[in-house]
Structure 1
């Protein structure tokens, strides 16, 4: 059986089963575990599946994002843990970028007792919080307003960022995988790519529920990320795959 036919069979099985194990696929296809893993790796590069511990699942397609008000109620404990780990990475007197999002907002909360940083953000809530509760120097990027996300997006934001030199950037996302970050909002692409270009260190901050999802627009290759800060529920298999790509992984446990 040629690889393309095996891969079609794998996808067919996944349509009726949420997760299929490596052992089960090897038996069904009458090939070695290594051959199955190579087929899965090929499908994963295409964004069609994601590896999980001991097996594989179909990639979940994200067609739209929840509003900011809905996001802020989800995974609050994980976001707090991620925020605490993130601030430990910030050296004194650094220039820091905080991407729009509720996990980034938690980082901002954790930074409110400091005042030594230059903070750049496209998030209205983050800017408002830090203006009221810190003495950091704050820059807002301006740009086109995204009401649902309470932030700004588009090429004007990217132009602003390209004139900055960022020591460490914390990027958020609603969907990411071994391939990288994606978004249903085309206007976010230029922002993600601009900040990755001008930052010495790029950190993805995202709870594990968003891993294995893919949206319409590919925003950033995973190789552009230096470090992922997530929660303890990211699988060992996903962690190992990311490390093989040269991405450091911190799984926060509180």
Structure 2
């Protein structure tokens, strides 16, 4: 098991149990206690956990956010399935906006065979996928770089986006909740997402099943502002039924 897989295991165990013991983790993962301590120190440096004598606890709450390295390793099969479904909503001649986030970046990977589409983004993950796509017109937004999102954002980005009218926005989010709508942990990320929504005719939210019935610190918009939510087939049918009964357009890939 590599370092990323170990860290993912540690986070999942913390989410279930609240505390992990260094020696027990070493035994479970068949590695040395020193290796586990290095993993815990790295997670602590990222702000995900707090170290305690002999172990660690999870930093949780409405401001909690995985960094992009952890997100890349999480629910990747589901994210790619969602991206493939979203290709049904992209047509020749469209202008589309690809938001920051690992799920949306999977969609960028699938665009390489398309033609006559304008793609706009503030995500470096997306831009890296499209660097060699000569058949697409790609517009990269300016702005202040945010490491955790691997994207630029902020007032410069928002003002730039406001100059355009986009056919379809493919939007990422950290939380989806009937009461609070779409939410994220950080204001600067949320305000840039608001700017993309305002500039777009149609908004499609891409979110794996772990995002459902979750809310964070900053509200992007109510669910009534979203034209469609695309999630994966692992989503709890009971949760999906709750959204459908509230007249929220949601489908599984």
**Alignment length (residue pairs):** 193
Alignment check: 8 A CA contact 1:61 1:214 kept? no
Counterparts of 1:181 and 1:206, CA distance in 2: 10
Alignment-derived partner of residue 196 in structure 1: 197
**Does the alignment pair 1:132 with 2:132?**
yes
Alignment-derived partner of residue 104 in structure 1: 104
Correspondence list, 1:1-254, <5 A: 61-178=61-178, 179-252=180-253
Alignment check: 8 A CA contact 1:115 1:134 kept? no
Higher normalized contact order (CA 8 Å, seq sep 6+, divided by chain length):
1
Calculate the TM-score normalised by the size of structure 1.
0.72
Alignment-derived partner of residue 32 in structure 2: none
Alignment check: 8 A CA contact 1:98 1:169 kept? yes
Alignment-derived partner of residue 28 in structure 1: none
Counterparts of 1:216 and 1:210, CA distance in 2: 14
Counterparts of 2:223 and 2:166, CA distance in 1: 19
The answer for unaligned runs of 5 or more in structure 1 is 1-59
Deviation at 1:96, TM superposition (A): 0.4
Calculate the TM-score normalised by the size of structure 2.
0.72
Alignment check: 8 A CA contact 1:61 1:213 kept? no
Alignment check: 8 A CA contact 2:166 2:201 kept? yes
Alignment check: 8 A CA contact 1:83 1:107 kept? yes
Counterparts of 2:204 and 2:174, CA distance in 1: 15
Deviation at 1:61, TM superposition (A): 4.0
Cα offsets for 1:68-87 (capped at 9, x unmatched): 11111111110110010001
* CA separation of 1:232 and 1:164: change in aligned 2, threshold 3 A: same
Deviation at 1:113, TM superposition (A): 1.1
* CA separation of 1:248 and 1:65: change in aligned 2, threshold 3 A: same
* CA separation of 1:211 and 1:88: change in aligned 2, threshold 3 A: same
Alignment-derived partner of residue 32 in structure 1: none
CA RMSD of superposed structures (Å): 1.6
The answer for unaligned runs of 5 or more in structure 2 is 1-59
Three-state SS of the structure 2 residue aligned to 1:65 is coil
